[in-house]
Amino acid sequence: MTTVALKPATMAQALTRALRDAMAADPTVHVMGEDVGTLGGVFRVTDGLAKEFGEDRCTDTPLAEAGILGTAVGMAMYGLRPVVEMQFDAFAYPAFEQLISHVARMRNRTRGAMPLPITIRVPYGGGIGGVEHHSDSSEAYYMATPGLHVVTPATVADAYGLLRAAIASDDPVVFLEPKRLYWSKDSWNPDEPTAVDPIGRAVVRRPGRSATLITYGPSVPVCLEAAEAARAEGWDLEVVDLRSLVPFDDETVAASVRRTGRAVVVHEAGGYGGPGGEIAARVTERCFHHLEAPVLRVAGFDIPYPPPMLERHHLPGVDRILDAVGRLQWEADS
Amino acid sequence: MTVMEQRGAYRPTPPPAWQPRTDPAPLLPDALPHRVLGTEAAAQVDPGLLRRLYAELVRGRRYNAQATALTKQGRLAVYPSSTGQEACEVAAALVLEERDWLFPSYRDTLAAVARGLDPVQALTLLRGDWHTGYDPHEHRIAPLCTPLATQLPHAVGLAHAARLKGDDVVALALVGDGGTSEGDFHEALNFAAVWQAPVVFLVQNNGFAISVPLAKQTAAPSLAHKAVGYGMPGRLVDGNDAAAVHEVLSDAVRHARAGGGPTLVEAVTYRMEAHTNADDATRYRGDSEVETWRAHDPIALLEHELTERGLLDDDGIREAREAAEIMAADLRARMNQDPVLDPMDLFAHVYAEPTPQLREQEALLRAELAAEAESEGTAR
C-alpha cells in the first residue's frame, strides 16, 4: 500500500480538477457559460480548460442564461454532456423556464427516449459580502421540480467526487456550489482524487449522542463549529451533511435522529417554504416515537437576501444554532 | 456646451477595435413576400416537386379536418389546427434531409406527419395519453413544444453540437408570430448567429397570437426584419405559396449546410380556424378578412398552377383526395380505440433510476391498483 501525500487544496481547485478529469475522460463533456473560457470563470473554477481543451469544449457564450441552458438542451439531445455555469444564484432565474419546462422533464415526456445529461453549476449562498442578487439560496425552487437531482458539497473531497458523479449522471443535476467555501482548504490529494461519490447519500460528518444537526453546503462548517462549542454545554452533537437534497437520504438522517432523539435542521435559505420544512416533516414521520422534542429549524430569515453589511444578522451562526439546541426540551428529559 | 447640447454634431469616435458591420443590406428581407406560383418563376420548379407538394397539402388539409372532428368527438383534448398554413407545414418537412432535425411547436403536428411520423403518434400529446408519443430520434423530430419559442435554443444547440461533431446536419425550428416576442426567440437567434450554427428559423406569421393581432405584437416592418439585428439574413415569403416556401427554405437550408449560418424566414400566412376548439375567433376578427384569405388558399393556388400547366387533371385531383381519405379513415379508426395505459408508467421515466422517494410512491400506487382490482373482482 502506497502512502498518499495529502496537500491542502481549495474547493475551487477540486472543482476545476473534476471538470478537467471529466473532460479528459469523456470527449462529449462540454463546459459552457458566460466568462468560463478566457477568464476561467469569475471564481476561476473553469481556469485553464479552454486552453487545454479548446474553445469548442469550454465555450464563452453570449450573456443569456436561458440561451445557455436552452442550447445545452439541444446539445444534450445530440449526445453531448454539457456542463453549464450560471455564474451566480440569482442570475440563473432567466433560465428557469428552460430548466423546469424542458431540462427537468424531457426524459419523462419522451418516455425515456431523450434523457438530458446536463450539469448546471450554480454558485449559491451568501457570506461573501456580495451585493444584491449575488447571495441567494435558491435550492427550494430546484428541490420542488421533479426530474432534477440537487446536490451541494461542503468539503473539498466531496466537491470533486460529487461533481464527477453529476457529470457522469444521465439525468440533469443542479450542482449548487457554496461560494463562501470556494476558498476553504482541506487536506486532499489532488494527484489521486477520491472516488466518485454516488449522488443521494448523506454522511455523518461528526458523530454525537445528544442531538443531530441536519445540514448541507455552506452551513456544514458552521454546524461543525457549533458542535465543538456545544461540548462546553455538555452536548455531544452529531452533524449530518446531506450532500444531496434530491434524492434525499432518509435512511442516514432517520438513523441518526433515532440514535440521538433530537434534531435541528440548519440552512441559509429562508425557513418558510424552505428545505427545512420538508426535512423536519420527513424526520417526524419516520422518527416520531424516538423524538424527545419537536424538530427545530434554524434558517435564514424570510426576507430577500439582505445587503452585505447586514448579512451576518441573517445567516444562521453558531449562537443561533446553540440556542435552538438549548430549546430541545432538555429539562423534560432529565 | 454640454455633450447633450451638442447632440447631432457630436459623433463619438469608435475605438480602433470596434468596427461596425457595413453589410446590413444583404441581410434585409425584400419589401414584399417572395412568390413563385402564378409567376414566371413557377415554370422553373420541378413538376415532380409541385405534384408532391400538392398531394401533401391535400393530405394535410384532410388531416387537419379529421383531427378537428376528433376533438368534437372528445377523442382529442385539444387540437390547434393548421388549416390554411399547410404550405408552411409541408414545405418545412420536405426541405429536410433524413439526418436533419425538425423542432415543431404545438401547432405543427402536420409538419411532423409530413416528415413521416405516424399520424396517431403525432396526436398522443393532444389525446392526453402521454406527452410525446414518439421517439424523437426515430424521425429526428423534437417533441411538440407547448411553451412559446423555448424549442428555438434547442434547435440551435443541436445544430451546433452536430457541427462540433463534424456531422452535416441542419435544424429547422418552427415558431409563430406571437413566439417572436418571447425572450427565448431573441436568445436563440443571437446564439445561432454568434455560433454560425446551421439552423433555420421559420416564423409562421398567421396573423394572430390567439386573439392578439400582429400590429399589437410588434412594431417591426416585418418579422423577417428582426434578422438584421442579429447579423443573419431575413427572408419574407408568401406562406400560402407552397413552391415559394419550399424554395426559400431550401435556400436557407443549403446556406446553413454550406456553413453560411442561420437564416430567419417569415412566412406570411393565415390561420383559417380558431386558435383551438376552446377559442372563439369571431370575437377578434371579421368574416370578410377570413374570406379574403380563403381566396388565397394554399391548395387552390397550387391546384390552379398545376391544372393550368397541364400537370394535374381531374383524375390526379381525385387520386390525391382518395389518398387523403384513406389516411383519414385509418386515423379515425385507430384514434377511436382507447389507448392502453399503464399507471406505473408515471414513475418509469422521471429519472434513470427512481429515487427512494419515488419507489415508495410507486409501491403506494401499486397497492392502490391491487386493491382496486380486488374490489372490482368482488363486485363481479
pLDDT cut 70: percent of chain B above it:
93
pLDDT category of residue B10 using cuts at 50, 70 and 90: low
- The one catalytic residue among B186, B284, B296, B332: B284
Put simply, the answer to whether B165 touches A78 (Cβ < 8 Å) is: yes
- Does an H or E element contain A49, and which? helix A49-53
Residue-level pLDDT at B131: 95
| DSSP codes joined into one string, A288-310 | GGG-SSPPEEEEE-SSSPPPGGG
Q: Are residues A127 and A251 in the same domain?
A: no
- The 10 Å CB-count burial string (b at 16+, else e) for A133-172 is ebbbbbbbbbbebebbbbbbbbbbbbbbbbbbbbbbbebb
Residue-level pLDDT at A334: 46
Domain-located, residue A208: yes
The verdict on B36 touching A (C-beta cutoff 8 Å) is no
Distance, in Å, from the CA atom of B302 to the CA atom of B312, rounded to the nearest integer, reads 10
CA-nearest residue to B360 within chain A is A250
Domain-located, residue A220: yes
Put simply, the answer to whether B160 touches A146 (Cβ < 8 Å) is: no
DSSP B199: E
pLDDT category of residue B2 using cuts at 50, 70 and 90: low
Domain-located, residue A331: no
CA–CA min distance A254, chain B (Å): 14
Lowest-confidence region among A192-196, A259-263, B162-166? A192-196
Residue-level pLDDT at B376: 87
Q: Are residues A157 and A207 in the same domain?
A: no
Residue-level pLDDT at B21: 58
Examine the fold and report which residue of A186, A213, A230 is the final residue of a domain before the chain moves on: A186
Which CATH number does the domain housing residue A87 bear?
3.40.50.970
Q: Are residues A62 and A161 in the same domain?
A: yes
Entry pTM: 0.94
Q: Are residues A234 and A147 in the same domain?
A: no
Q: Are residues A148 and A280 in the same domain?
A: no
Q: Are residues A218 and A292 in the same domain?
A: yes
Q: Are residues A123 and A216 in the same domain?
A: no
Lowest-confidence region among A138-147, B7-16, B18-27, B315-324? B7-16
**Domain range enclosing A238:** 201-325
Q: Is the ipTM of this complex over 0.90?
A: yes
Domain-located, residue A134: yes
pLDDT tens by residue, A145-181: 999 999 999 999 999 999 999 999 999 999 999 999 9
CA–CA min distance B111, chain A (Å): 19
pLDDT tens by residue, A40-89: 999 999 999 999 999 999 999 999 999 999 999 999 999 999 999 999 99
Whose CA is closest to B331, among B123, B82, B85, B133? B123
Q: How many CB atoms lie within 10 A of CB A304?
A: 11
Q: How many CB atoms lie within 10 A of CB B75?
A: 19
CA–CA min distance B31, chain A (Å): 30
Which CATH number does the domain housing residue A277 bear?
3.40.50.920
Examine the fold and report which residue of A130, A152, A186 is the final residue of a domain before the chain moves on: A186
- For B103, the 3-state DSSP assignment is strand
Calculate mean pLDDT across residues B273-280.
89
Domain-located, residue A23: yes
Q: Tell me the pLDDT of chain A averaged across its residues.
A: 95
Q: Are residues A31 and A174 in the same domain?
A: yes
Which of A65, A68, A78, A151 would you mutate first to test chain B, the one with the most B CBs within 10 A? Answer: A78
Residue-level pLDDT at A331: 75
Sort out which chain B residues have CB atoms less than 8 A from A147's CB and list them: 350-351
- For B102, the 3-state DSSP assignment is strand
Residue-level pLDDT at A186: 84
Look up B359 and say whether it is catalytic: no
Domain-located, residue A1: no
Angle CA(B371)–CA(B377)–CA(B380) in degrees, nearest 5? 145
Calculate mean pLDDT across residues B261-286.
93
pLDDT category of residue B306 using cuts at 50, 70 and 90: very high
Q: Tell me the pLDDT of chain B averaged across its residues.
A: 93
Domain-located, residue A233: yes
Amino acid at B364: L
Examine the fold and report which residue of A146, A163, A186 is the final residue of a domain before the chain moves on: A186
Calculate mean pLDDT across residues B157-183.
97
Q: Examine the pLDDT at A272 and tell me if it is beyond 60.
A: yes
pLDDT tens by residue, B233-271: 999 999 999 999 999 999 999 999 999 999 999 999 999
Put simply, the answer to whether B135 touches A110 (Cβ < 8 Å) is: yes
Q: Are residues A147 and A231 in the same domain?
A: no
Domain count, chain A: 2
DSSP A231: G
Q: Are residues A212 and A292 in the same domain?
A: yes
Q: Are residues A77 and A159 in the same domain?
A: yes
Calculate mean pLDDT across residues A206-219.
98
Q: Are residues A17 and A143 in the same domain?
A: yes
Calculate mean pLDDT across residues B139-147.
97
Domain-located, residue A194: no
Residue-level pLDDT at A2: 47
